Amino acid sequence: MLANCPKCGQLFNKTTREICPKCIEAEDKLLSDTQHFLRDNRNAGRHQIMLEVEGVTSDLLDKWVESKRINLVTAEDLVEQQEKANKQKMLLNKIMSGKKQAASETKEDETEKKERRGMHFKRS
């Protein structure tokens, strides 16, 4: 089936892809450049990628993320990671304070036991 490429308008034999072979090649080059950029800048957001990798659009990023060809860290991901780290820190602090309290109680119990040893006289 013949079709016009929606990107460049060139006539091509439409088989499995929606765009012509030249546009596929150009898109694959952009994907490769984006993947290379993300290797060096793992926490880069959409805006930074579009500024740094010439020709990349929001639609392309959506397409690549949806097809799992790239993985973007979103602001929500960063917030979620921070919340998870805070919860772990609070849990660790709770555990550590519990151990300190238990150690303190043990010392108090030992002091009381030492004081109770021996004969005791009732004072009148």
pLDDT tens for 34-48 read 999 999 998 888 899
Burial level of 56, CB count in 10 A (0-12/13-18/19+)?
A: buried
Q: How far, CA to CA in Å, does 95 sit from each of 82, 85, 86, 91, 99?
A: 20, 15, 14, 6, 6
Contact predicate 56/49, CB 8 Å = yes
pLDDT at residue 115, as a whole number = 61
Domain boundaries, the chain: 2-73, 74-113
For residue 114, what pLDDT band results from cuts at 50, 70 and 90? Answer: low
Specify which residues 12 forms β-bridges with: 3
